[in-house]
Amino acid sequence: MMPSKAAPSRPDPLSYESLRQQILRRDGWRCQSCGAMSNLEVHHREFRSHSGSDSEENLITLCSGCHARAHL
């Protein structure tokens, strides 16, 4: 039997908010897919459920619409 991959543990809320703000600043407060500047969210390129990390390299700014499409 294969061991299941556990999702990485989340950072505490204050640390995650700091990381989120850092990603938004890095990406110029723009959706990296369509360029929108409103309803911005931080997306994990490799999903946390697939053992994706909370590292800068795995995070990208997307608007809510592009973020929803990324999860289809």
Q: What is the 3-state secondary structure (H, E, C) of 19-31?
A: HHHHHHHHCCCCC
The pTM assigned to this predicted structure is 0.81
Cα–Cα distance measured from residue 68 to residue 15, given in angstroms and rounded to the nearest whole number: 24
Q: What is the pLDDT of residue 70?
A: 94
Stretches in the chain below the pLDDT threshold 70? 1-8
Residue spans per domain, the chain: 13-70
Q: What is the pLDDT of residue 17?
A: 94
Residue 35 tokens read as: 């360029």
C-alpha count within 13 angstroms, C-beta hemisphere, residue 32:
17
Cα–Cα distance measured from residue 1 to residue 20, given in angstroms and rounded to the nearest whole number: 37
